[in-house]
Chain A
Amino acid sequence: MTMLRRLASVMRWVLRRKRVEQELQEELQVFIDISAEQKIRAGVPPAEARRLATLELGGVEQTKERVRAFRHGGLIDQFSRDLRYAIRTLVKQPGFTLVIVLTLAMGIGANTAIFSLFDALMLQWLPVEKPQALLLLNMQPTDAREPGQTLSYAIVKALAERREIFEGVAGFSGFPLDVGPAGTVTRQTGAIVTGGYYSTLGLNAVAGRLLAEEDDRPGAPPVAVISYGYWQREFAHNPGAIGQTIPLNGVPVTIVGVSPRGFVGANVGNIADITIAAAALPQIAPDAAPLLAPGNFWLRVLVRPGSDISIDETNARLAALWREIGDRVIAPHWPVSRRRAMADAVFSLTPGGTGWTFLRGTYEKPLRVLMAIVGVVLLIACANVASLLLARASARRREMAVRLAIGASRRRIIGQLLTESLLLAFSGAAVGIAMAWLSARFLLATISSGPFPITFDLTPNWHTLGFTAAIATITALLFGLAPAFQITAVQPSSVLVDGSRGSSRSRLLPSLVTFQVALTLVLLIAASLFVRTLHNLQTLDIGFNREGVFVADLEGRRTAVSADVLEAVLQAPGVLSASLSTHTPLSGAYWSEPAVPAGQALPDGDTALFVGAGPHYFETMQTPLVAGREFTDRDSARAGAVALINEAYAARFFPKQNPIGQRLSARVRGQLRDLEIIGVVKNTNAVGLRRPPRSTVYVSYAQLTGDFPTTLSVRASGSLGQSASAIQKVLREKLPNSPVQVQPISRQVQAQMVQERMMATLASGFGILALLLACIGLYGLLAYRVARRTREIGIRMALGADRKRVTAMVLSGAARLVAFGILLGLPAAWVVSRWIEELLFQLKPTDPATVGVAIALLMIISLAAAYLPARRASRVDPMIALRHD
């Protein structure tokens, strides 16, 4: 009851402020009147009585202020009054306000944009039941170099059977599916999951049912669960979708249910619209059926531990269970040493509530670096805003002096100035969120141009809004506090009496500029390191000519590809050469097998990269032949088995020998083969740009047996688009039932540099923004100084200083600030560049050229910014300057 009444009273104060204020004024007036009356009655002269009475009250305004502050809701009321005052002040200076809000919007918006990506990638819980409890199960065989995050199907099934450790075990993997009837087939990302997937995540179907253990048994009818989004797009929420069949890879599969809204799989960033059970693989994707064999590790595993088991206990039970089931689930055909390493494997659990994504490995560090970069940009922006507020402070000294004189406390005024800062920061944040929303999409599109499409929901959520509000508040304190203290540190009397502008020269302004220059240098050095890294990658000799080659992935269709496809492609306009191969460089897929010079024993774990290549393959790729000859049509299945090797292989196995004519023994798809070396080719960066080329054996495509993935490579002259569509047309005629895409191989190369391109683009963008802000800061400081020193400059000129000298005076002041900033910035840049070293390529973080360029750029641009005020100073007319004031 009292709470309610108090609340009502607070509301009354806030809402009917005017009435209440008026009443207070009247009441205090009555106090003075009555008090004066009493005194007059006691014989004091009327004028004196009134004066005494006012003194007794201790100042009308002061008492009012105390009443306002003391009562409940006083703070709200005070804040709302400050806010109104701040709005009025800021609206009166629209230009000033606009500049500050835009500066802050850029700084805050950049932070929000990067954070929203960081949040989506690293922080957001999966939309499942109690995601905090989920753990990611990792397995570390003793011979593994990196912690293995994938498990085999057999292990996942065995763990799922044993309920004494985990309440649920969910294995999952992304899997591309060709969806739709012949003619309208589209490639979609789907997911393959084990039977415990949905129950472990604690999800219930929106319609129909979700997959369960019985769907994940050998021979179970193939069924699929579709996502809510897919149900909405393709079936318009029609419950009749349940029970319908959709062709997946040409196999009719029954839709049994719709998963909850917002859930698109545990593979973050990779939307799974269609989910099928692992046991359905042999029916839906026969060529992927070997995944179910015990030797294949491909499933990510989330587990939900039993509620009353500690982590230690869980680990202990896991180890015990592994000893029990290990024998059963380790691939029996593996060599003994590998089996031993598996049997001794150690399991570990890491938090899994945010799901799993390969993106974390690639983007965690870059995103952290970007967070740091945008943080620095925001600091620079804050320094600019602080300078602007400081410069304005001198204009407001009089206003503040008056307010202090009539009884406002310093704390009150600082509070009011901070309200102004908060208003500015939050206006900036509001604009910034809009900017971030747009730019984060653009960022995502950049990342998505990598080998895999990536989808995130970047709609502002409470994480990003909270983050933005927090940094807006911190920002307001950063740029608002110093000016607020400086502005209120005035003696009212001195300001009011002589009306001077206060002669104390603030040291804060120049140090802010120095600070900006230092931070800008750090960003510029980081940016040029990233730009040079990208440049190094782009100009890297990768062993094949990335221009003018198209590739078309024909999938596992080696047996289906007839010779006339190649013939037809060669007839297409502009085509210079064409070849078939099992793999192409940087496609993301590769094949390795053990291969050693004949006579040596085949090693267990040591393999070479294998590529099955047809005639004209090296001609098409323009990979230089170092010795011997290429494959020709004569290297057919009937001829003797031949191979080419790359320089790395030659250097390793045939040092200082001529490998041509030597023989290799290799295991190709489980069969021992004897190969004759007919040629040596240059190394290519087949598995990654940053990794050194691996030893590679090329075998004749025509001499392979069984089904292999097949890629068509075509070299064409003329315009890229025309050649691509001509090839595409030929393929569509020859292979009407498959969605074959013709792409330039340069896209495969570009996809390897997505992260580096993002870093180079963003870091240089933010570097330029920082440079711009720092220059505005420097310009503002100098312009302000010149304006204040007009009189002094006039005197100097009257005494004989010429224009050049005045210009030099201003410029040297600027140069000192910049030089000092650079001195401060260099050690900071050194520390930062160590931190980003792992992201660089063929570049030392202390690369002198890079650092030199950054310094030169900073000096040139900042002196250019300083030149304008310097010129203005040199144009001062001594006569006018001296009459001024």
Chain B
Amino acid sequence: MEKLDVPQGTLDLMILTILSREPMHGYGISQRLAALSHDTFQVNPGSLFPTLYRLEQDGKVKAEWAPTENNRNAKYYKLTAAGKKQLERHRERWERIQFAITGVLEGA
């Protein structure tokens, strides 16, 4: 199946959602994203890392170095309280968008 780019503005939402379950490192996030989207979304690390750094700068996520299961030191990202709030807001908004788009598509 053809891989799609992540829709504009939703990468934040997806990253925050993934991190809301457990802290994760960069590679993990990209893998999880691919798996959860049934391999539909192609997330280029060239987009992933800048977004992660921006979220960190905005205080939505916090990063710390911790050992992986293979005992490597990796940078793990964790959701902060502000990040949780942001996630809820984004989610709510996304659901409204989805509802609206579905309405338009089906009503037409």
User: Which residues of A are at the interface with B, using a C-beta cutoff of 8 A?
Assistant: 2, 5-6, 9-10, 13, 23-24, 26-28, 30-31, 33-35, 37-38, 56-59, 62-63, 66-67, 69-72
Contact = CB atoms under 8 A, between A and B. Distances in A.
B51 to A, nearest CB: 8
B58 A30 contact: no
B66 to A, nearest CB: 11
B46 A2 contact: no
B72 A2 contact: no
Contacts of A23: 75
Report, nearest first, the 8 A-B pairs whose CB atoms are least far apart: A70-B50, A9-B57, A34-B27, A58-B46, A27-B75, A30-B74, A71-B53, A67-B50
B73 interface: yes
Contacts of B56: 9
A31 B28 CA distance: 9
25 contacts: A5-B59, A6-B57, A6-B58, A6-B59, A24-B53, A27-B26, A27-B49, A27-B74, A27-B75, A34-B27, A34-B28, A34-B74, A57-B45, A57-B46, A58-B44, A58-B46, A59-B46, A62-B46, A63-B45, A66-B47, A66-B49, A70-B54, A71-B54, A72-B54, A72-B57
Given A23-B75, A34-B74, A66-B46, A2 B59 contact: yes
Contacts of A27: 26, 49, 74-75
Contacts of B73: 30
A540 B72 CA distance: 95
A24 B25 CA distance: 13
B50 A66 contact: yes
Nearest to B70: A37
A31 to B, nearest CB: 5
A71 B59 contact: no
B6 interface: no
Contact of A30 (B27, B59, B82): B27
B106 to A, nearest CB: 37
Nearest to A23: B75
Contacts of A31: 25-27, 45
B68 interface: yes
Contacts of B28: 34
Interface string B64-94: 0000101011110000001000000000000
Given A30-B74, A70-B50, A56 B45 contact: yes
Given A30-B72, A31-B45, A70 B53 contact: yes
Given A13-B57, A70-B51, 20 more contacts: A2-B58, A2-B59, A6-B57, A6-B58, A23-B75, A24-B49, A24-B53, A30-B26, A30-B75, A34-B27, A34-B74, A57-B45, A63-B45, A63-B46, A66-B47, A67-B50, A70-B50, A71-B53, A72-B57, A72-B58
Nearest to B45: A57
A5 B44 CA distance: 28
A666 B4 CA distance: 104
- Interface SS of B by simple majority: helix
A10 B25 contact: no
B26 to A, nearest CB: 5
B31 to A, nearest CB: 8
Nearest to A62: B46
Contacts of B45: 28, 31, 56-58, 63
B84 to A, nearest CB: 14
A30 B49 CA distance: 13
Contacts of A26: 75
- Interface SS of A by simple majority: helix
A30 B50 contact: no
Of B53, B56, B58, most buried by chain A (CB within 10 Å of CB) is B53
Contacts of B57: 6, 9-10, 13, 71-72
A59 to B, nearest CB: 8
B50 to A, nearest CB: 3
A805 B70 CA distance: 79
Given A35-B27, A72-B54, A72-B57, A63 B49 contact: yes
B43 to A, nearest CB: 11
A34 B24 CA distance: 13
B25 A67 contact: no
Nearest to A72: B57
Contacts of B82: 2
Nearest to B50: A70
A33 B51 CA distance: 21
Nearest to A57: B45
Contacts of A24: 49, 53
Contacts of B58: 2, 5-6, 72
Of B25, B27, B56, most buried by chain A (CB within 10 Å of CB) is B27
A30 B59 CA distance: 23
A33 B72 contact: yes
Nearest to A13: B57
Nearest to B74: A30
A28 B46 CA distance: 10
A28 B26 CA distance: 8
Contacts of B72: 30, 33-34
Contacts of A2: 58-59, 82
Nearest to B56: A9
A10 B73 CA distance: 25
A851 to B, nearest CB: 62
A483 to B, nearest CB: 31
Contacts of A70: 50-51, 53-54
Contacts of A5: 58-59
A482 to B, nearest CB: 32
Nearest to A53: B27
Nearest to B57: A9
B6 to A, nearest CB: 15
Nearest to B59: A5
B64 to A, nearest CB: 11
Nearest to A71: B53
A57 to B, nearest CB: 5
Contacts of A63: 45-46, 49
Of A9, A31, A37, most buried by chain B (CB within 10 Å of CB) is A31
A234 B75 CA distance: 73
Nearest to B31: A38
Of A2, A27, A35, most buried by chain B (CB within 10 Å of CB) is A27
Nearest to B82: A2
B49 A67 contact: yes
Given A56-B45, A63-B45, A34 B25 contact: yes
A30 B46 CA distance: 15
A37 B72 CA distance: 11
A72 B59 CA distance: 12
Given A2-B58, A5-B59, A70-B54, A28 B49 contact: yes
A58 to B, nearest CB: 5
Nearest to A20: B53
A34 B26 CA distance: 10
A31 B53 CA distance: 15
